[in-house]
Amino acid sequence: MGNEINKGSKFVDETTKSILDALEKIDKKINSSSVLNGGFDKLVVDINYIRENQSKTDESLSKINDAIYLPDSGLFSKIEKLELKHEAACANLHELTALHKAESDTQEKEIKKEIELTSRVDSLVQWKESIIKWKWLVITTILGGIVKVVADLLFK
């Protein structure tokens, strides 16, 4: 019977030792785990940072959208108004040319008006061309910003 007690206590000691070893391994894994030691906190901080930047980006895109598409003051409405002015200026130019041919005594005044209108038309055309260039610049800047934000999000 004494042997059985020794065998039983030996078994208990070995079982306890293996349980303690297993617990020690679990403890080491928990302590060395980056996820359980601040990893989730960093993830929350990163998500909050992304949310803040996304809202800033949304605001910026909304402002750009307004600057381009607002019916009264947007870029497209300004270009449309300028095109109408350009067409009107061209129509006026043709009218002035016809009047010039018909009225020989007011020739000098008509020539001055025609030159002035031509320079206005040219400046409007140049302005329109520069607006088109700026439009492409803004579009590529927006797309570049979106690509950068997506790249930053993917590679963080």
Q: Which residues contact 76 (CB under 8 A, 6 or more apart)?
A: 68, 69
pLDDT of 2 reads 46
The total domain count for the chain is 1
> Considering the domain boundaries, does residue 66 fall inside one?
yes
d(CA 14, CA 10): 6
Mean pLDDT to the nearest integer, 110-138: 89
Residue 127 has pLDDT above 70, yes or no: yes
d(CA 82, CA 102): 30
Q: What is the pLDDT of residues 3-13, one digit of tens each?
A: 555 555 676 78
> Considering the domain boundaries, does residue 94 fall inside one?
yes
Mean pLDDT (the chain) is: 82
**Residue 64 token pair:** 């750009």
**Residue 127 token pair:** 């302005």
Does the predicted TM-score (pTM) go above 0.85? no
**Host domain of residue 63:** 58-155
Q: What is the pLDDT of residues 67-98, one digit of tens each?
A: 888 778 888 888 888 888 888 888 888 887 77
The helix/strand/coil state of 103 is coil
pLDDT of 7 reads 57
Residue 143 has pLDDT above 90, yes or no: yes
**Residue 88 token pair:** 């009107």
> Considering the domain boundaries, does residue 127 fall inside one?
yes
Helix, strand, coil percentages (3-state) for the chain, rounded to 5, are: 90, 0, 10
> Considering the domain boundaries, does residue 125 fall inside one?
yes
> Considering the domain boundaries, does residue 143 fall inside one?
yes
